[in-house]
Structure 1
Amino acid sequence: MDTPEVREVATRSSSWFPPMLDAPGFEHLIVESHGARIHVATIGEGDPVVLLHGFPAHWWQWRDIAPVIARDGYRVICPDLRGTGWTAADDPRIERETHHQDLLALLDVLRIERARILAHDLGAISANQLAYAHPERVRSLVQLSVPPMFMPFSLKLVGGFRHMPALLWHRRGRSLAGLFDPSHIAHPLPDETIAAYLSPMVRPEVDGAVRRLFRHIAIPVSMQLARGTFARQRLLPPTLAVFGRRDHPWDEPLIRRLCGDLSRHAERYELAFVDDAAHFITDDAPSEVAALVLDWLERTT
């Protein structure tokens, strides 16, 4: 579609497949731009805060966190990244910059000049791409469960990529429920919560995108990190990186040692660590994450 369009769609509309998950207070939009029909859940009014989910999640990852941010006077915008959730695209191809370009298009269509961004896991890749390439569009950034992009690679970090092989060779129809194992989450999730996260996998477009997301985004960007691509640039937007203390191998002593002097690589960069939380920190500790985010938003006004 050549002309960008924003359409509001009711939660219980028959146009959603699978049926849209419900969460109190959220409204749902379809943003059409450049051949993509991006599903966006929004809540609240005020300055925009964009929340980018991780994998294998979608907008519903923020169901407990977005309302807390909204109550503090923000408009919280939660898109489903291409290849996930209820977003659809004419072209199924996914390349290294695809989510980054979709994010730029989304900001343009919604007329957001500068956004505060909160991102987890896979979403943190596009958030950082935007922050490095277009710092004028990012007011501040909080990234969850992902190391600073300028951090040097160490063999001690290899364990953090243990899930990659299965995703690089994902077979259609194979369940991803195993990702929510005790090595990734501190507090086991109810079966219905895992089912909600994985419900869009019934869409062939989403199931078929798993390999592409990791072969064409996660791995290439990881290689950039290992080659020091981002370490040779300077990060301008103020950024907070948050980890769960049970998210190995991203242990605080190792992360702080590898990062060294943060001011060498960024104008303003801080690290924070949350007790009793692992990789899926938004499910393990939503209240703690929301509090850290609100504090960062206030301190980077």
Structure 2
Amino acid sequence: MTLDAASVLLEGPWNHRLVSANGARFHVAELGDGPMVLLMHGFPQFWYTWRHQMAAIADAGWRAVAMDLRGYGASDKPPRGYSTYTGAEDAASLIRSLGEDDAIVVGQGLGGFIAWSMPYLQPDVVRAVGSLSMPHPRVMRRASMRDRRQRQASRYLVELQRPFVPEREMTKDHAYVEEVLRAWASPFGDYPTPEDVERYGNAMAMPFVAHSAAEHYRWFGRSQLRQDGPLFNRRVRGPVAQPVLQLQGTEDRCVLADCTGGSADYVSGRYAFQLVDGAGHFLTEEAPDRVSSAIVDWLDTVD
């Protein structure tokens, strides 16, 4: 069975839209009215991971917009354009295409990495930054290079650098996605369920998604051998002036909580940090109520 974009247009209280931005077409799910909160998912998921938070954010008087990142879900899957630079450009252009001058940007995992980068790369469109399961880019880079345990936890980045092999593993069945979900989630919870594995496994099996997903991470490796990687690391060394919320699961086995501290050193604006006890990497679904409450409470403090 060949899966197409319709398989990720899941029903709910939200509205689905396809929006042209930055030379591509992006799928978004929208719910609520008010100032925009742009939500960016991580690997190996798609917009649906934000479904619980969308309802809470909309009920609190905000416009929740969950996007499929370039290459994922129902968004376009061009053969190139998977650097963090392009990810920030995609988000900024999408905000403007949806009729807003700026937005609060919130991301998880890969989406959190992009969210952290936006005050440096697209500052005019960012009111505030929320990051789940991802510290500041320089903190993450330093921990992945210098800390033995985090280096081991980040080994998936090395494995994704291989050509062709990851794509075959990701698409031949749901085993790859299930392994990632289970490996990064808390061992003390019940995530993922069989339904989670099927939902995200099917989304990864859509044509070209696996290649695009790997390309996001291949940029991290390739860029270190070119000028754009060191340049990015220099670009993000200053302080973030916007308000920042950072949520981190205590049982995250992809981004280790006790190896990746220090993001506050890169924030000059208001900085809020919360550990989510007992939760792993996939905070939006492992601890949906606690995460929704933390985000909504934080949004009330953003000017």
Task: Give the 5 Å matches for 1:193-272.
Answer: 193-217=196-220, 220=223, 229=234, 232-248=237-253, 250=255, 252=257, 254-256=259-261, 259=262, 262=264, 265-272=267-274
Q: Does the Cα contact within 8 Å between 1:132 and 1:236 map onto a contact in 2? A: no
Q: Does the Cα contact within 8 Å between 2:240 and 2:268 map onto a contact in 1? A: yes
Question: How big is the shift at 1:263?
Answer: 5.2
In structure 2, the gaps of 5 or more residues are none
Cα distance, 1:160–1:240 mapped onto 2, change above 3 Å:
farther
Match of 2:281, SS state, is: coil
Cα distance, 1:267–1:220 mapped onto 2, change above 3 Å:
farther
Aligned equivalent of 1:276: 278
In structure 1, the gaps of 5 or more residues are 1-14
Match of 2:252, SS state, is: coil
Aligned equivalent of 1:160: 153
With normalisation by structure 2, the TM-score equals 0.83
- Aligned letter for 1:81? L
With normalisation by structure 1, the TM-score equals 0.83
Task: Give the 5 Å matches for 1:38-49.
Answer: 38-49=26-37
RMSD of equivalent CA atoms: 2.7
C-alpha distance in 2 between matches for 1:166 and 1:251: 19
C-alpha distance in 2 between matches for 1:194 and 1:82: 21
Aligned equivalent of 1:189: 192
Match of 1:111, SS state, is: coil
C-alpha distance in 1 between matches for 2:15 and 2:298: 25
Cα distance, 1:126–1:255 mapped onto 2, change above 3 Å:
closer
C-alpha distance in 2 between matches for 1:168 and 1:195: 25
- Aligned letter for 1:291? S
Aligned equivalent of 1:7: none
- Aligned letter for 2:200? Y
C-alpha distance in 1 between matches for 2:113 and 2:258: 23
Question: How big is the shift at 1:265?
Answer: 4.4
Cα distance, 1:79–1:263 mapped onto 2, change above 3 Å:
same
| Deviations 1:71-124, CA, capped at 9 Å, x for gaps | 0111100110011111114x3212422211111211121121121121100111
Which of 55, 64, 76 is the matching residue for 2:64? 76
Q: Does the Cα contact within 8 Å between 1:54 and 1:121 map onto a contact in 2? A: yes
Match of 1:210, SS state, is: helix
Question: How big is the shift at 1:198?
Answer: 2.5
Question: Which structure shows the higher helix fraction?
Answer: 2
Question: How big is the shift at 1:254?
Answer: 4.5
C-alpha distance in 2 between matches for 1:34 and 1:93: 13
Aligned equivalent of 1:131: 119
The answer to which of 91-100 and 179-188 deviates more is 179-188
Q: Does the Cα contact within 8 Å between 1:18 and 1:199 map onto a contact in 2? A: no
C-alpha distance in 1 between matches for 2:127 and 2:299: 9
C-alpha distance in 2 between matches for 1:249 and 1:78: 23
C-alpha distance in 1 between matches for 2:51 and 2:36: 17
C-alpha distance in 1 between matches for 2:101 and 2:181: 36
C-alpha distance in 2 between matches for 1:53 and 1:264: 23
Q: Does the Cα contact within 8 Å between 2:45 and 2:200 map onto a contact in 1? A: yes
Q: Does the Cα contact within 8 Å between 1:131 and 1:237 map onto a contact in 2? A: yes
The answer to which of 277-286 and 156-165 deviates more is 156-165
Question: How big is the shift at 1:230?
Answer: 5.5
C-alpha distance in 1 between matches for 2:301 and 2:50: 22
Aligned equivalent of 1:12: none
Aligned equivalent of 1:171: 167
Question: How big is the shift at 1:136?
Answer: 2.9
Q: Does the Cα contact within 8 Å between 2:16 and 2:28 map onto a contact in 1? A: yes
C-alpha distance in 2 between matches for 1:192 and 1:131: 36
Number of equivalences: 282
Aligned equivalent of 2:104: 116
Aligned equivalent of 1:5: none
Q: Taking every aligned residue pair, what percent have the same amino acid on both sides?
A: 26
C-alpha distance in 2 between matches for 1:118 and 1:211: 22
